[in-house]
Structure 1
C-alpha cells in the first residue's frame, strides 16, 4: 500500500550513446534556462510554458512509466515526448496571441483547447512518474472538486462547472500550472541546483565530509557526529532529504555499522541529519524559495530568520547523538582522521563559491543573480587547482545533470500549481481555514497543533515543496486569521513540511536509508523522529517568540539566543535520560518544563527557565567530575 503511494517511474539507464545524447540535450536546455533568467526579460507565462514543455520533453525519455520500466524507450513514451515538444512549439509560436488574450472572456480556438488539454494531461502523467500516486491522487481529487464541486451542498460547494473555465485558469494564466511554484523552479531553484551539481562534481561533497571528520572524527560517537555535520553541510547543496540520505548515507551508514552501531541507529542518524538540510541556510531547499515568493518576503530575510532555528535543529540532533554515544560507549572513528592541512589542501577552493553566495545575499542581490554568482564562482574556483578542475565534458555533464535532477521538483511544482489555481477559483482555501478554526474553537495552541498535523499528513510521501504549498494554501489562512506574522507562520508550515520526510508511516527519507542500512524503514523512521524531536518542537517556539528568528529587539533576541541553546540541550538530555549519569524521571520532566519556559517571549519567565536548566546542568557536571576523580584515585 505505502510502496504504491511512493513508487515512481524508473530512471532509465540508456545505452552509452543514447545517454550521452540525452545529457547533451539536457545541457542545451540548462543553457537556455541560464540565458532566459540572466540575460533576457521574458513574459512569466511564456517562460513557464516553455520551461515545463522542455522539462516534459526530456522527462518522458529519462523516466519510465513504472518502477519496472525497460531501459529502451517504448513508442508511447516517444509519443508523449513528441506531444510535449509540439505543445512547446505551439505555445512559442503563438506566444503573442496567448499573452494578449483576455482570460475567461476570449473563447478558445480548437488548437488552444487541444494543446491546453494536452498540457494538463501531460502534467498529471509527469507528476505520477516523478512523485508517485500520493501527490497525483491529491491533484486529481482537487481537479474533480473543481469540476464537480457545484453539486456539493454549502459551504463546500461552488458555482464553477465548465471545463473550459477550469482549463483557462489552470493552463492559460499564471495562477495554475505556471504559477509561483513553477516560476520559482524555472529560475533560482534551477540555478541553485546547478550550483550544487557543479560543487559536487568538483569534489565539494568529499570536502564537506572531510571537514566534518576533522571536527568530530576522534570524539566518542565520531562516525554518527560526522554523519550529522556532513549531511547538514551537504544539505545546503542538495536541499532534498532523500537525495542527501543517498549521497552521504552511502558513506556514513556502512561506517557506523562496521564500528558496531546498530543499523536502526545508523539509519536514523542519517535520516534526521539529512532532513534538516532543507532548512539549512544559505541555500536551504526549493520550498524556501517558494516561501519567499509566495509571502513576498525577500529571500535574504528568510535566510537570516532561518539561521538560528537551523542551528538549533542540528544542535539538538548532535547532542542526542553525543549523549547516546556516552551512554552506550560508542567508539570513535577507526583509522586516520584527515588533518586540517589535508582537508584544506584542495578544499579551500570550495569556500570561495559559498562565500560568493553569502556575499551576494547579504548585498541584497536577487536570488536569481545570487545563484548565478554561485554557479560561476563554483566553476571558476574549481579551475584554480588541477585536482578540482572540470573538463569541458564535465561542465556539459553538470548542466545536463542539473536538468535531470530538477525533473521531480518540476513535476511536483507543476502539479502543486494545479492545486493552487483550483483553490483560488473555488475559494476552498478559506473554507478549509474556517473548518480548522471551527474545530479548534479559535484557540491558538490547538490551531497550531492541528496545522502541524495537517501539514505532516499533506507531506506524507510528497516532496517538501508540494507539502509546503498545499499547507500554505489550506492551512496558512487559518494562521493569518489568528494574527500570526506571515514569515513566522509560513516558516512554521515549512518546518513541518520538511519533517514529514522522516515521519511514519511513509517517511520517504527513511525508505532511502533502509536500503543502505538493511533495516526496517519503520524502525529507522521512529528512531529518526526521536533524534529530530527538536524539529517538531521548535516551530512552536519561533511562532510565539520572534527572538528565536532574531526578529525582536536586542533584549528579546539575546534572551531567545541563550534560552534556545539551553532549551535544546535540556530537551536532548531529557530524551536520552543520561549525561553519562542517568537522570531521575522527575529531573527529566523538570528539564522539559524549564525548556518550554526558556523560549517563551517573556524575559522574566525565560530567565527563570534558563536558571533551572543551568542549576541542573551544574549539578551533573559536579557529579561527573566527582566520579572521574574517584575513578582516577
Structure 2
C-alpha cells in the first residue's frame, strides 16, 4: 500500500445548524483572540495554553483522521476534542500554580502529568491531521532523539534520559509547545490572517485581479502577467504559496489555457508568482513573524529589509514571462478589461486599509496593533460604498473563517515548538552547525550553498513556518559562527524555506497547481524553478551586499538597487534565450558575459559595479538593436521574394 506523506485529514463540510454552530464557536474564539491580544496583557504561557487547547477542540471536529474520514465527527474525534477542552480548562484553572512551579525541580502532580502528556500526544495527532506524516515523522524523530539520544556515542549523544524532564520543558514552559511559534500564531499571524480574510470577504481579491488586468491584461502574455501581479498582491495577505495557488490559480490558470498557453507554463507562472507572495511586504507570511520573534528583530525592520528583494524577485519573474510571451507571441487577455481609472473608482476603499497598515507599521507600532488597525479599517472602509459594504453576516463569517484557516498553521507551529524545545535542551542545533562547518571546511560560499540545500530539503513537503524554524535551529548557528549578522543570515534561510514550496521533488505549491492545470506536478515545478531563478540567487546577493536589505547609507542602497536591476535583466534575458521581437536568440558568449556582468553589478564595490552595469547595458542594447535590424532585413527579403 502506497503511503502519501503529504496527505492530511479530510476537511469536513457542515450544513445547516451544525455549520451555523461551528461559525458561532469559531467567531467567538476569534473575538477572544482579538480581545486577549489588544486589550489584555496575558501571561504568554496562559495565552499559549488557552489558544492551543481551544484550537485543538475545534480542529479534531473539523479535520478528520484521514483523507477518507467520514464527513461526520466520530466518537474518537469527539473524545480528542473533549480531552483538548478538558486540558485547557485544567491548565486555565491551575494557571497560577503552574506558573509558580520551579521547572525541573518541583515534581508533577498526577493531573499535571496526565494533562501534560495528553497535550504532547494531542499535538502529534493535530500535526498529523493538518500537515501529514512528513512533518509528524520529523517531530517524532526529534522526540525519540530527545528521549533516547543518551544511548548514542559522542558527539551526537546527550545526557537526558528522564521523560519527566522532557515533559517539563516541552509542555510546562514557553520553550516547547507554547514557545515562539505558537505565540506568534496566537498573536501576529492570527490578526493578519483576519485582516486578509476580511479584505477578501469585502471583495478585495476581485479588486486585485481587476487591478492587475487593467495594468497588464492587454500586453503580450497579459493573462500570465495578471497572474503574477494578482498572486503577489493576494499572497502577501495569505502568506501561504499553496493557498495562494488555489485561490488565484483557479481563475488565472484556466484563462491562460483557454488562450492557448501550455499546461506546463500556465501552472509554472502561477506557482512562481504565488510563492513570492510570502516574501512580499507589508504582511509577508507567518514565517516572517516567527523570524521577528525568534531573532528579536522588530517586524518593521524585517518588512523594510524585504521590500527590495521581493520587488527584484517579481521583476525577474515578470521579465522572463514577458520575454517568453514575445518569443512565442502569447495572446493578450481577450475578455473586456476595464480602464485603470474605472478599477480604482470602483475599488478605492480597498486601498485604505493597506495604506493604513503600511503607515502604522512604519510609524513604529507593534504588529499586533498594526494588524488590529488593518482589520478594523477593512470593516470601516467597506462601508463607504454600496459595492464594498460588508454585512454583519460577512463579518461573522470572516471571523469564523480566520479561525478555520489558522488550524493547519497552528498544528504545524505547535509541532515546531516541540522541535525547538528539544533542540535547545539537547544542544543538537550546535552539533548540526559544527557538522555543516566541517563539511564546508569553513569556506564561506560552500557553507552558504550547504545551508541553502539543507533548508530546501528540510522544507520539502513542509509548511513554510516549519521549514524556516527547522533551518533556524539547525543551520542558523553555522551562519552565526561565520560572523554573519542575524538579519542577513535568517533572511537567507527564510527565502529558501519559502522557495522549497516550488522545488522538486515534492513542491507542494506545484501539487496544488497540477490539480488545476491537469499537468504533472514535477513538470510544473521544474518550469517554476526556472521562472523563479532570481529568487534562488537573491539570498547570496544580500549576504554579499547587505545594502540590498537597506543596510547602509542612501548611496550604497541606490547603487545596490541599480546593480541588482541590471543583474536581473541580464539573467532574465539569459534564461529566456533573449528572443527579442523579430530577432534570434543571443549567442552563448554574450549570455555568459551578461551573467558575469550581473555578478559584477551586485558587488559592494562601486567601480566594479559601475563597470558591470555599463557593459551589461551595452550588451543588452546592442543585442536588441541587432535583432531589430535582423528582423527588418528578413522582412525585406521576404517581401522581395514575394514580389519576384
Provide TM-score, normalisation by structure 1.
Answer: 0.99
Offset at 1:628?
Answer: 6.1
Deviations 1:465-492 (A, max 9, x none): 0000000000000000001111010000
Q: Find the counterpart in structure 2 of residue 171 from structure 1.
A: 171
Q: Find the counterpart in structure 1 of residue 326 from structure 2.
A: 326
CA contact (8 A) 1:423 1:473 kept: yes
Offset at 1:493?
Answer: 0.1
CA contact (8 A) 2:215 2:340 kept: no
Q: How does 1:498-577 map to 2 (within 5 A)?
A: 498-577=498-577
CA contact (8 A) 2:237 2:283 kept: yes
Deviations 1:553-579 (A, max 9, x none): 233212111000110111110001124
Task: Report the Cα distance in structure 2 between the residues aligned to 1:290 and 1:623, rounded to whole angstroms.
Answer: 50
Q: Find the counterpart in structure 1 of residue 642 from structure 2.
A: none
CA contact (8 A) 1:598 1:610 kept: yes
Deviations 1:594-633 (A, max 9, x none): 1111112222221121112111111023224435655589
Offset at 1:216?
Answer: 0.4
Task: Report the Cα distance in structure 2 between the residues aligned to 1:612 and 1:80, rounded to whole angstroms.
Answer: 65
Which of 612, 619, 623 pairs up with 2:626?
623
Q: How does 1:464-479 map to 2 (within 5 A)?
A: 464-479=464-479
Task: Report the Cα distance in structure 2 between the residues aligned to 1:133 and 1:590, rounded to whole angstroms.
Answer: 46
Q: Find the counterpart in structure 2 of residue 214 from structure 1.
A: 214
Gaps of 5+ in 1: none
Task: Report the Cα distance in structure 2 between the residues aligned to 1:66 and 1:77, rounded to whole angstroms.
Answer: 12
Q: How does 1:355-394 map to 2 (within 5 A)?
A: 355-394=355-394
Deviations 1:213-241 (A, max 9, x none): 01100000000000001100111111100
Tell me the secondary structure at the aligned position of residue 4 of structure 2. helix
| CA pair 2-398 structure 1, distance change in 2 beyond 3 A | farther
Which of 581, 588, 595 pairs up with 2:598?
595
Q: How does 1:48-127 map to 2 (within 5 A)?
A: 48-127=48-127
Task: Report the Cα distance in structure 2 between the residues aligned to 1:554 and 1:621, rounded to whole angstroms.
Answer: 32
Provide TM-score, normalisation by structure 2.
Answer: 0.97
Offset at 1:539?
Answer: 0.3
Q: Find the counterpart in structure 2 of residue 612 from structure 1.
A: 615
Tell me the secondary structure at the aligned position of residue 5 of structure 2. helix
CA RMSD of aligned residues (A): 1.2
Tell me the secondary structure at the aligned position of residue 338 of structure 2. coil
Q: How does 1:136-285 map to 2 (within 5 A)?
A: 136-285=136-285
Q: Find the counterpart in structure 1 of residue 351 from structure 2.
A: 351
Task: Report the Cα distance in structure 1 between the residues aligned to 2:346 and 2:59, rounded to whole angstroms.
Answer: 36
Question: Is 1:15 paired with 2:18?
Answer: no
Tell me the secondary structure at the aligned position of residue 6 of structure 1. coil
CA contact (8 A) 1:2 1:506 kept: no
Task: Report the Cα distance in structure 2 between the residues aligned to 1:601 and 1:16, rounded to whole angstroms.
Answer: 62
Q: Find the counterpart in structure 2 of residue 430 from structure 1.
A: 430
Report how many residues are paired: 633
CA contact (8 A) 1:194 1:375 kept: yes
Task: Report the Cα distance in structure 2 between the residues aligned to 1:306 and 1:560, rounded to whole angstroms.
Answer: 14
Tell me the secondary structure at the aligned position of residue 8 of structure 1. coil
Q: Find the counterpart in structure 1 of residue 129 from structure 2.
A: 129
Q: Find the counterpart in structure 2 of residue 410 from structure 1.
A: 410
